Amino acid sequence: MKKLNRRNFIKGSLAGGIAAAAAAGKAKKALAAGGDFGGYPDSMGVLVDMTKCVGCRTCEAACNKEQGLPEPDKPFDDYSVFDEHRQGGLPRRTTEKAYTVVNRYNIDGREHPLFRKFQCNHCNEPACLTSCFVNAYTKTPEGAVIYNPKVCVGCRTCMIACPFYVPAYSYSSAINPVVKKCIMCYDTRLKFGRPPACVESCPQGVMTFGKRKDLIALAHEKIGENPGKYVDHLYGEHEVGGTSWMYLSDVPFEKIGFDMHLGKEPIISYVKDFLAIVPMVLCIWPALFTGFHLLSTRKQANKEEPPKA
Amino acid sequence: MKKLIAEGFQPIDTLIKPKTNNPWSLKDKLLLGLTPQEYTKQLFRNPFNWILAIIYAVGIPILVGRFIFGLGWATHSSYDYPWGLFLGWGLFVMVPLSASGFMMGTTVELFGRKDFKPIERLGLLNGLLGYFFAVVFLEVDLGQPWRLVYPMFVSLGPAAVLFLVAWHVATYLSVQMAELVPATSELMGWVKPKKFIKSIVLGLTIAGIILSTLHQGALGALFTYAPGKVHPLWFSGAFQWFHFFCSSIFGGLSMLIVVSTLSKWFLGWRCDANFSKNLDQITLGIAKGCSLALITYLVIKLVALAHDNEWGYLLTGWGQWYIFEITAGVILPLVFFTMAIRTNRAGLARFAAFVSVFGIAFNRLNTALITFNWQLYQEIPHWREIVIAITVYATYIVVYRAVLYRLPILYTWQGDSK
Amino acid sequence: MGLKTGKQVGLAALIAMAAPLVLAYSANGEVFELSSLANLYEGVSFDHDMHIEAVEDNCSLCHHHTAGTPPEDQMCIPCHKDSPEAESPACNSCHLIEPFSSANLSIIEKNPLLHHKMKPGLKAAFHQNCMGCHQETGGPVGCQDCHAMIEKGEKFYNTGQYAPKPGKGTGHH
């Protein structure tokens, strides 16, 4: 009986060990990410000054051409799109055909409507990246969060995870559906040090391209030098661990569709507690349950073989 | 089959044909010892098969259509709502209900409670088939299902919770298949495989507990990627994984009671005395486990509310929905289970089990679909999604039934005797 | 500034034309052709003289301090209240056609003491400056009010002859 128990214990531990090996990488990553990543030090970013946007949609057109996206449903100089609403009365969002959209917000007391450009924010610690089990996303040192369609299985967890509701999926395709989102023109521009197409195309200079840390300084400078003009908040500086695309506004952010309840922690922080438990269970359960087994079955063994007097 | 049994037919339960020295062939074993004509006749007589025929007539073309026309045609999966019924039902509901595998293995092999042995194999089968069909549902849902093995062999993302789920489900399926080798060996007349598995059964059981703890919890942890999207009453940053794990305990056990009840009602001819006579006592024993898990679950749900100070939400519309879920899905079965144990009424325990299974399904659907995106708008599944889900689930039942007909799960193999 | 100065500026621009630089203006008396950014639209016919009259000789409304007049913005006064006329008050002498080129960005990086680090590019400077004022004074604000769209632009914006055919669904419910 004793021999069998030892053998079983070893076998149980081996089985647990194999499972542990499978999760070893995960344990390492969980341990290494003790603090926040905070982004690569020299990563680029884009500062979006929404006080300047006039809603001309040139950026949408530029993105469409640069990324080779399909023909839109309406011309890019057709502004009736601002009246379009999707399910739930919500404004337009990114789709498999549009990596960026501009939405209009009518604000009481503001002479002109506010226009907001919406696209992937290229977070420092992206939720999409941390949730992907085939490592399809990469945070490049240049700052862009890019996607590899060649390994994507189509589980769509990234779409669940993204707090900004950015990734779209080409549901219309049966043979090669993939995630569709802004890649900050990485392949065609950012890699070579050039700004994304939308930034370059903007006639109003809404977007400023530069090093993320410089843009943060610039944004606060702008807020300081124009007292009362801007809301004293740079959106994206800290939200979900910081994003590469940041926003300045003269209208409170919650009124123009920005989620103010995202917190400063990257999404992975909410998952880390569970990830940390995984290696604990793998290491503790084998001994714990073998112990339970020995403790509870000893009674039967004693019945069969009473202890020697 | 009931008619045939009444006429004196005895389905196969030995390796050798009675009163002869000839072994049953594989074909005989598959047809239960009936001739093909007799078998087909009883197929047509069974009214459940008529319902299945209708389900398949409608469902198979739609299921095939999903793969030809894509997810956009078959589902209401959208950019805001990427997951629908395939994952909501097929993965999130079916997996906790299939936890009976590790529960029964642990009870009988690890804790040595041999009094539960008659139902052990049913628990293992429930686990295996539930997980297997969860994977089938996953394949129906994945955008590129042929890439299922990518997280294992092509491109690994080990920091993701889904990575753990993928690996664990694959490993656990192997464990469960191994645990059902003894039953298969008996039917097929193999000796060595059964002996081998018996020698490592403790290791398999412990591996099963480890894997189950983690992936049941991991399914909950998946929602921690979207902290703002699930309604706060259903979401707990600290305890989500533990809520899912704890509820899987009574989920699996309740489902086992449900399946054993259905087997008693509809496959009574297959159940031998060992199973039928002990079933009531076993049911009450399982009920004890369920009630312990239920009260624990209730308390940790309340602890989570206190931890995040969410009492205010109980006064909202969603709060009423939550109270309904807790009352109907947790408190009610808890009360019935306890009453059944105290008054020794297996029938009441069975009713409680049905309610408890509903409670689990309700909780998972709430978390994954109904309260998901609670701040946006409601989405309902496409009718094609519902049809496909019913079709795949019907296949699960068909396979379940086919295995229960043949493998010595509800009955004891008589071996070479007779 | 009077007609005389306008003609001088026009002459200076003509001379500038001879330089092998990217051209911003082609002078035609009082009207400049702003065509350096012409890509999707035609160049702009900019009547400089008319604008001089419109701003009642207050050059700083458009030229900040580079025309030798004190700037409008209080923020600029501390440093620039006595700034002389710049070497070239033309917009394109400070506002670059490619403000975010890696060359320009590395200049910014190498000169941490540079004050005006992220100046709007030329296209942005034109639009912000011009339209800002036009909105207040009732001048042209529509895109094609100042520059007509050419075929390249129609292709870019999927409009005009390149507009999508009506009745095309998205293919996904």
Q: What pLDDT is attached to residue B7? A: 77
pLDDT in tens, C142-160: 889 999 999 999 999 999 9
Question: Which residues span the domain enclosing A53?
Answer: 44-265
Q: Is residue A114 part of a domain?
A: yes
Judge if A172 and A255 occupy the same domain: yes
Question: Pairing between strand A44-49 and A245-248?
Answer: parallel
- The CA distance from A252 to the nearest CA of chain C, in Å, is 23
| Same domain flag for A55 and A181 | yes
Q: Which of A294, A7, A296 is nearest to B201 (CA)?
A: A7
CA-based nearest residue to B134, from B178, B103, B175, B165? B165
User: In terms of residue numbers, what domain contains B188?
Assistant: 46-406
Q: Residues B213-239: pLDDT tens digits?
A: 999 999 999 999 999 999 999 999 899
Task: Assess whether pLDDT exceeds 60 at residue B258.
Answer: yes
- B41 domain-assigned: no
pLDDT above 80 (res A35): no
Cβ-defined contact of B80 to A87 (cutoff 8 Å): yes
Is residue A199 located within the same domain as residue A285?
A: no
Q: Does C152 touch chain A (CB under 8 A)?
A: no
Q: What CATH number should be reported for the domain holding residue C17?
A: 3.90.10
| pLDDT at res. A306 | 64
Please check the confidence at residue A176 and state whether its pLDDT lies above 60.
Answer: yes
C-beta atoms of B79 and A169 within 8 A? yes
- The answer on A274 and A260 residing in a single domain is no
pLDDT at B91: 95
Q: In which band, very low, low, confident or very high, does the pLDDT at B109 lie, cut at 50, 70 and 90?
A: very high
Domain CATH number, residue A132: 3.30.70.20
Smallest Cβ distance to B82: which of A19, A160, A300? A160
In a domain, C133, yes or no: yes
Instruction: Please give the Cα distance from C134 to B125 (Å, whole number).
Output: 77
Given a contact as 3+ CB pairs under 8 Å, which chains touch C?
A, B
Residue B275: pLDDT band with limits 50, 70, 90: very high
Q: What is the pLDDT of residue C26?
A: 40
Dump pLDDT digits (tens) for B310-364.
999 999 999 999 999 999 999 999 999 999 999 999 999 999 999 999 999 999 9
Residue A309 is assigned to a structural domain of this protein: no
Please list every residue in chain B whose beta carbon sits closer than 8 Å to the beta carbon of residue C171: 72
Is A193 part of any domain?
yes
Per the domain annotation, does C131 fall within a domain? yes
pLDDT of residue B233: 96
- Comparing A70-79, B38-47, B384-393, the range with the smallest average pLDDT is B38-47
Looking at residue C16, its pLDDT comes to 46
Q: What is the pTM of this model?
A: 0.88
Number of domains chain C contains: 1
Look at residue C54 in the predicted model and tell me its pLDDT: 87
Q: Which amino acid is at B194?
A: K
Portion of chain B with pLDDT greater than 70, in percent: 99
Least confident of A183-187, A219-223, C32-36, C63-67: C32-36
Q: What is the pLDDT of residues B193-214, one digit of tens each?
A: 999 999 999 999 999 999 999 9
Domains identified in chain B, total number: 1
Look up residue A238 and give its two tokens.
């800290």
Q: How far is A95 from chain C (nearest CA, A)?
A: 10
Average pLDDT, chain A: 89
Q: Are residues A109 and A198 in the same domain?
A: yes
pLDDT tens, residue by residue, A286-297: 999 999 999 888
Any domain includes A94: yes
Which of C98, C118, C172 lies nearest to residue A208, judging by beta carbons? Answer: C118
CB contact under 8 A, C171 and B72: yes
- Cβ–Cβ contact A273 with B under 8 A: yes
How high is the pLDDT of residue A33?
46
What's the rounded mean pLDDT across residues C1-23? 48
Is the ipTM, as predicted for this complex, more than 0.85?
yes
Contact at CB, C164 and A74, closer than 8 angstroms: yes
Q: What is the pLDDT of residues A37-56, one digit of tens each?
A: 778 888 999 999 999 999 99
Q: Which residues of C touch B76 (CB under 8 A)?
A: 173
| Residue B379 contacts C, CB cutoff 8 Å | no
Per the structure, how many domains does chain A have? 2
Q: Which of B184-198, B314-328, C65-79 has the highest mean pLDDT?
A: B314-328
Residue C35 reports pLDDT greater than 70: yes
Q: Which chains touch A (3 or more CB pairs under 8 A)?
A: B, C
d(CA A109, CA B247): 52
CB-based contact A194 C100, cutoff 8 Å: yes
For residue C66, the enclosing domain spans: 3-90+121-162
pLDDT value, residue A28 = 45
Locate B313 and state its tokens: 């939400």
Whether residues A6 and A52 share a domain: the answer is no
CA dist A55 and A204 (Å) reads 10
Q: What is the pLDDT of residue A139?
A: 96
